[in-house]
Structure formats: structure tokens, C-alpha cells
Structure 1
């Protein structure tokens, strides 16, 4: 059993399947931290600052909605905290897990394969490779 678990979500349906696993792994007095990482764009010569700021605001709102929606899906009685950060997803997930002294990161793999996975990469795969904290990779189809 774990005392503190990080549960990253991007708002997709994949993270829903992780709730059962997390609730079975957390101690009675443990804490579940639902985390969403919002992208943050920077301006360039080809972009208007106003447009970039509006996109960043939309990314942040999307991340806030993702953690709120995930929090609502937990049964009553669980200690669930929500966190939203801006940054690169894999690195930020690991940073938050370390800052929070988490015992486990439970992260979903989307089940992508082939060239699509090779070209785009996988946040879950990066977390798995870079984290010093235990990672439970939940395979979704």
C-alpha cells in the first residue's frame, strides 16, 4: 500500500481506468494527487503576443477542468488533492512527484504503436524511464 500517489491526467478517457487501481493501492489515510500539466507557449516573431496568451489561458483552463473532472470520479472518503502546473508533461510529473514525496506515479499508456508512437513519443514512457519513483504503467487499448 502507498501513502501518496500521483495520478496525472490530460483529460482523456484513459485516466478513468486508473481510478480503480489507485483506490486499491492507496492506504486508508493516504493522499491521491491528481495532476494536469498545461502546455505553455512562448511568443516568436511570427506570433502575436495576444494570441499566445489566449492559447496559454485555454491550455490552463483545460488542465483545471481535467483535474476537477477526475476528482469528481473518486468515491467518497478518499483524500484527493488537485494540482495544475505549466511545463513539459513528463518532467513536470516527475518534479511534482519528487516535491510531494510521492511513493508512486500511476500513469496511463494510450496503447499507440508503430510509427505514430515513434515520432510523437510517449509521456508515460518518458516518466517510466526518467523517474526515480516507482511508476505503475496502466496499458489501455
Structure 2
């Protein structure tokens, strides 16, 4: 049913809950798991200078130790957990708007399923902050399994 499952991760507890579901599904289907970390250039533009932001958008985040470490830690966590279960894992880091980069990765890598977490925000916080999960649902044509991080 599914051959390639994408799990976008930022290293948060919300992402970890989605990772568990992605690995369970991959194990059941014999699928490989793709771990994607997106450096959110919109949110970073507020704290970085133009030169640093340009480097990130060109994929040169390696020179920025903290960004590189977060990305490697987040995707490495998925790869390690997958390896423990005998699941093939692919790690990838990109930069841009998270929902757009997720949709692009889905298309470029023939992904069958996206598994991602949601904080379950509502009301004004959701309206002001937006939702990467919600935008991803509208940006891709493959099924998206949304894992509610509030529940067990």
C-alpha cells in the first residue's frame, strides 16, 4: 500500500509522536521512511541577517553549526529509530517555507504518505501562527496522517 513514507520533523515531542506512527506504518507495509527537516526561512529571517539567510536558502546551512546540529539531530533520530526496527531511512534537509518544501519533497521523491504531528491549536493562536500541518494538507495530493500530540 505504501512504499515511501515521509515524516517531516523538527525534533520536537510533537514530531516524535508522529515518528512512532510513521515507523509502525512503515513496518507494517514494508516501506522506507524519509525524514525531512525544513529550515524555516520565514521564521529565521526575523533573527538572522540577510547574508546568513541567503546562505540557508542556497542550502549552505552547514556553515551554521546550530542549524546543522538541529537538522542532523532531528533526522538522525528518525534514522536511528528506523534502523533499530530494520526499516530503511532516508535523511534530507531543505530550506524554505515548511509546507511548500514538504509538498515539493513529496512530488520529487514519489512519497505515498505523509505522517506529521499537530499541536492542536485552535482559535486566535491558530489564526495568528498558522499551521504547517494544515497548509501541508492543502498543498499535497497524497494522504496525510495527522497525529494529535495532545493525546496518547
TM-score (norm. length: structure 1): 0.83
Secondary structure of 2:138 counterpart:
helix
Long gaps (5+) in structure 2: none
Q: Structure 1 residue 38 and structure 2 residue 39: aligned?
A: yes
Q: Structure 1 residue 61 and structure 2 residue 62: aligned?
A: no
Tell me which residue corresponds to 1:134.
Answer: 143
- CA–CA distance in 1 between the matches of 2:113 and 2:23? 13
Call closer, same or farther: CA 1:84–1:23 in 2, change over 3 Å.
same
Q: Deviations over 1:65-112 (max 9, x none)?
A: 211123223333011111111111000001001100010011111122
Higher helix share: 2
Q: Deviations over 1:18-45 (max 9, x none)?
A: 23322332222x2100100013356xxx
- CA–CA distance in 1 between the matches of 2:91 and 2:72? 9
- CA–CA distance in 2 between the matches of 1:86 and 1:132? 21
Identify which of 70, 75, 85 aligns with 2:78: 70
Call closer, same or farther: CA 1:2–1:114 in 2, change over 3 Å.
same
Call closer, same or farther: CA 1:51–1:9 in 2, change over 3 Å.
closer
Count residues in correspondence. Answer: 137
The 4+ residue runs of structure 1 with deviation greater than 4 A are 50-54
CA contact (8 A) 2:6 2:34 kept: yes
Higher strand share: 1
TM-score (norm. length: structure 2): 0.78
Q: Structure 1 residue 120 and structure 2 residue 129: aligned?
A: yes
- CA–CA distance in 2 between the matches of 1:59 and 1:2? 31
CA contact (8 A) 1:89 1:123 kept: yes
Identify which of 49, 52, 69 aligns with 2:51: 49
Secondary structure of 1:77 counterpart:
coil
CA contact (8 A) 2:78 2:89 kept: no
CA contact (8 A) 1:9 1:66 kept: yes
Long gaps (5+) in structure 1: none
